[in-house]
Amino acid sequence: MMKSSCWGILECRSDRDECKPTRYVLLLGLIGLISVAHFITDIRYLMLHELYVHAYYLPVILSAFWYGARAGLLAAFLASAFLLFHSFSSWGHRPDLVFDQVTETVLYHLLALVTGVLSQSERRRSQELETASHELSKAYQKLQETFDQLRRADRLASLGQLSAGIAHEIRNPLGSIRGSVEIIETEITPDHPKHEFVQIIKEETARVNSLVSEFLKFARPPEPLTQGTLINDLIDSTLKILHKQAEKSNVEIRQDLDPSIPSLDLDWNQMRQVLLNILLNAIEAMPGGGIIEVQSFLKAGNRVVVQISDNGPGIEDHLLDWIFDPFFTTKPHGTGLGLSISHQLVENHGGVLRVHKNNERGLTFSIELPLVKEPELKVLSSAPQRPALRFTTSGGCEPRFSPASIWTTEEEKTAPALSAVTKS
């Protein structure tokens, strides 16, 4: 913003467009004012004329300092023209005074040249420092993001293997319980007084099995089966699923989708799971109603961004760093896996999932995806495989390598990703 004070004009950088009109007026005004003073002052006041001659140095130096040698030489030429015209017209009978003022005009040009060269050199160094500072800032940001990814990856590796071991050992007795209950159910008629308890056992067994499935999907998320997908169609489809639930919660969902976004290579079910997780969290965060804004747009660098914002209560600042960590939740009945799984799924697509607090209320989640999938850097792929933990009946545990045995039936291997939507 242009500053009104004289100090603001002097401090304003020369490459700012709003500074230039004010500076042009200032420089031309100084040269004109000094020249007018020359012509209206009686030639008997030699001291004042000497002062005016030296006053020309100010616009000459400022021109060279702000705009370089060429501008300084132009200001020196204008000042010299006015000075010599006045000198020859008023002091023609005093060759000594004319010579002194001609000498001053030479000094105007020399000073403009030196000041302009030094100013341009300093400006180049300043630009180089700014560029280096900007690059260092970007490098630091990337380094910080990489560090966060490594920290999260290490947690995921440890917790994932632990979850896989526990879930696998739980699933085995669950299968036995389910089979036994089904056998008992054939011998108990629906009007039997204990038939209700059989149904409770079946329902609770199914609930535990569903929770175990979430743990397994967290431990070993499936590889995305990508195909050409219009992200706006995916968003529309997801919002239709949530329309009734949002309506019941008095939540208004607004869309601002960029129609120019081309097709992306995505796994439809996995990315819908990501959108569902984020949107469900936003709806549940506003039980008294609110607004959710969904935007899609293109970003420089061949990236597509989907932003989901709400005006709910948000989350405390110190908890933002943990929001994608497994088992972290602020809900009394949440598993804390929904956003963690979403983060993994977006990374598997070569993208990034970020979150930040809004200026007023609520959170904004940003899903950033590449137009063309970039080569994936698997941080843990080069590390030795960690054994899963087998928990024994004696209370101890022993390592075992059996990642394939986590899935026990073909139905579980091919279950759609939509069934894994969690409310963390």
Bridge partners (DSSP) of residue 292 are 253, 310
pLDDT at residue number 156: 61
- Token code pair at residue 278: 């984020």
Distance separating alpha carbons of residues 275 and 263, to the nearest angstrom: 17
User: What is the Cα–Cα distance from 254 to 16, expressed in whole angstroms?
Assistant: 38
DSSP 8-state symbol, 289 = -
What's the CA gap between 232 and 236, in Å, rounded? 6
Distance of CA 61 to the CA centre of its chain: 44
Q: Dig out the tokens for 136 from the structure.
A: 């260092």
Handedness of CA 157, 163, 167, 170 (dihedral sign): positive
Tokens 């209700």 belong to residue: 196
Q: What percentage of the chain carries pLDDT values higher than 90?
A: 12
Structure tokens at 214: 């979430």
- The rounded Cα 285 to chain-centroid distance in angstroms is 23
3-class DSSP state for residue 307? strand
3-state secondary structure 241-293: HHHHHHHHCCEEEEEEECCCCCCEEECHHHHHHHHHHHHHHHHHCCCCCEEEE
CATH of 221-420, one of 3.40.50.300, 3.20.20.140, 3.40.920.10, 3.30.565.10: 3.30.565.10
Nearest to 72 by CA among 14, 148, 5: 14
- Per-residue pLDDT tens digits of the chain, which is 424 residues long: 444 444 444 445 444 455 667 888 888 888 888 888 878 888 788 888 888 888 888 888 888 888 888 888 898 898 888 888 888 887 777 887 888 888 888 898 898 889 888 988 888 888 888 888 888 888 888 887 777 766 666 666 666 666 666 666 677 787 778 888 888 888 887 788 787 888 888 888 887 877 777 666 655 667 788 889 999 999 999 999 888 888 888 999 999 999 999 999 998 988 998 999 899 888 988 888 899 999 999 988 789 999 999 988 887 777 777 777 766 666 666 666 778 788 888 888 889 898 888 887 889 999 999 987 555 444 443 333 444 334 333 344 443 333 333 333 333 333 333 333 333 4
- Residue 257's identity, in one-letter code, is L
Query: Within 10 Å of residue 237's Cβ, how many Cβ atoms?
Result: 12
**CATH 3.30.565.10 intervals, the chain:** 221-420
Per-residue pLDDT at 368: 93
Token pair of 188 as six digits? 């108990």
The tens digit of pLDDT for each residue in 124-149 reads: 888 888 888 888 888 888 887 777 76
